[in-house]
Structure 1
Amino acid sequence: MTSEETPITSKMELREELKALLRRAYENEVDVEGGFACRNGAEHPDWDVVVTEVKKNGHPE
């Protein structure tokens, strides 16, 4: 974490950070769909993240 980052302390904050990250990537033409292995060394767990685009249902967020 850099000095400019604020700690994430809830699932809601995590969701908002993920949403912002995915939007930034999409706006910069990064293909965000697929699987991402997140290897974190011995001090943190590893995660496997899968991103799938879903069809909008017509309702606003």
Structure 2
Amino acid sequence: MMTSEEIALTSREELNGQLKALLRRAYESGIDVEGGFECRNGADHPDWDVIITEVEKNEQSE
């Protein structure tokens, strides 16, 4: 199984695609993905605070 460190991302679009896939897998597995998540990354990388909120679908949603 490939880990997130093994996936080379070269654009925001690729990042968005990977995030979308991760959130879909979590949702389909019954995980409540809405809320805040602290991403602590050790001394070599920045830490992030990620907030996920569900939005209303519009006619252009896939």
TM over 0.5: yes
The runs of at least 4 aligned residues of structure 1 exceeding 6 Å deviation read none
Residue deviations 1:27-58 (CA, integer Å, cap 9, x gap): 00100000000000100000000000000012
Q: Identity percentage over the alignment?
A: 68
1:36 paired to 2:37: yes
Q: Which runs of 5+ in 2 are unaligned?
A: none
Aligned positions, number: 59
Residues of 2 paired with 1:47 and 1:21: CA distance? 17
Q: Which runs of 5+ in 1 are unaligned?
A: none
1:51 paired to 2:48: no
Q: Give the structure-1-normalised TM-score.
A: 0.87
